[in-house]
Structure 1
Amino acid sequence: MRDTNKVFHLAIPCKDLDETAAFYEKLGCKLARRYNDRVTFNFFGDQVVCHLDPESIDKAPKIYPRHYGITFADRNEFELVLNLAKDRELPFFQKPMIRFGGRKEEHITFFLIDPANNLLEFKHYHDVTMVY
């Protein structure tokens, strides 16, 4: 595990600051800062910065090779985010599904898509030793 004094930082493009802020705040992410060209969020304890750059938006996003997200060690926390996404009608790119069923690395996962077509994965491994 990482030390609590370290925060992962990710910068991604967005096409509109207002719709980006609305999406991430509905997801439960706290808006940390907003400037004319970017918004910064507390994304489950890490930092996500969405830079205004409409020309860099992926017009036809695919799960692989580019997405980011959270792996939950606690199934209840995974379920809370899943239910929040459903209740707040956030757009799903991939509905909840089981990957690698019956294998040690089996996990449940779903993908959301933000307003700039960035893909966010949320997952929980049944065997916590498979997280890394």
Structure 2
Amino acid sequence: MQQITPFHVAIPVHNLDECRTFYRDVLACEEGRSSDHWVDFNLFGHQLVIHYKPKSTEESLHHNAVDGKSVPVPHYGVVLAWDTFQEFAQQLKNKNINFIIEPYIRFEGMVGEQATMFFLDPAGNALEFKAFKDITQLFAK
């Protein structure tokens, strides 16, 4: 597997202050540069930028069925180390995060075994964090 380099993703938020607090205080992301319309965060070594966008009443998340669960589309997140995922999931539970999909194990005992969880930020952006039991199976079929 090639060396992983940080990704950059920018997402819309309708309340910059509320989302800034969520990413900084709930997800424990280090805050970087900012202006009155955007804020950079270190999301597990990746660059996440929240950008102010007025709220639209016409937007809603689409969902696809996966493992009998309703997975929101679009979504984003980070693949974490197995132990880091477990610790992070527990921290989120301790902070009373309302999960769309509670942390669970997919493909248990099979190729591609992974832990995953989904939740929303205050602007309604869907996040998925996951971990692979064996990271070399990230793209295994």
Which TM-score tier does this pair reach, normalised by the shorter chain? 0.7 to 0.9
Unmatched 5+ stretches in structure 1: none
For the structure 1 residues 34 and 91, does the alpha-carbon distance in structure 2 shift closer, same or farther, using more than 3 Å as the test?
A: farther
Work out which structure has the larger RCO, using CA pairs closer than 8 Å and 6 or more positions apart in sequence: 1
Q: How many residues align?
A: 129
For 1:120 and 1:35, locate their aligned partners in 2 and report how far apart those are by CA, in whole Å: 24
| Further displaced range: 61-70 or 88-97 | 61-70
- Residue 49 of structure 2 corresponds to 49
Secondary structure, counterpart of 1:69 in structure 2: coil
For 1:113 and 1:59, locate their aligned partners in 2 and report how far apart those are by CA, in whole Å: 12
Unmatched 5+ stretches in structure 2: 64-70
Kindly state the Cα deviation for residue 80 of structure 1 after the two structures are TM-superposed. 1.4
The answer to whether the 8 A contact 2:72-2:126 is kept is no
For 2:83 and 2:49, locate their aligned partners in 1 and report how far apart those are by CA, in whole Å: 27
Kindly state the Cα deviation for residue 71 of structure 1 after the two structures are TM-superposed. 1.0
TM-score normalised according to structure 1 size:
0.85
For the structure 1 residues 71 and 7, does the alpha-carbon distance in structure 2 shift closer, same or farther, using more than 3 Å as the test?
A: closer
Query: Superposition pairs for residues 5-24 of structure 1, below 5 Å?
Result: 6-24=5-23
For the structure 1 residues 39 and 22, does the alpha-carbon distance in structure 2 shift closer, same or farther, using more than 3 Å as the test?
A: same
Deviations along 1:17-72, whole A, 9 cap, x unmatched? 11101111111101112211111111111111111113468433533542111112
TM-score normalised according to structure 2 size:
0.80
For the structure 1 residues 96 and 115, does the alpha-carbon distance in structure 2 shift closer, same or farther, using more than 3 Å as the test?
A: same
Secondary structure, counterpart of 1:90 in structure 2: coil
- Residue 77 of structure 2 corresponds to 69
The answer to whether the 8 A contact 1:61-1:118 is kept is no
Runs of 4+ in 1 over 2 A off after TM superposition: 54-65, 100-103
The answer to whether the 8 A contact 2:79-2:129 is kept is yes
- Residue 27 of structure 2 corresponds to 27
Secondary structure, counterpart of 1:2 in structure 2: coil
Which amino acid in the other structure matches residue 59 of structure 1?
S
Alignment identity in percent? 36
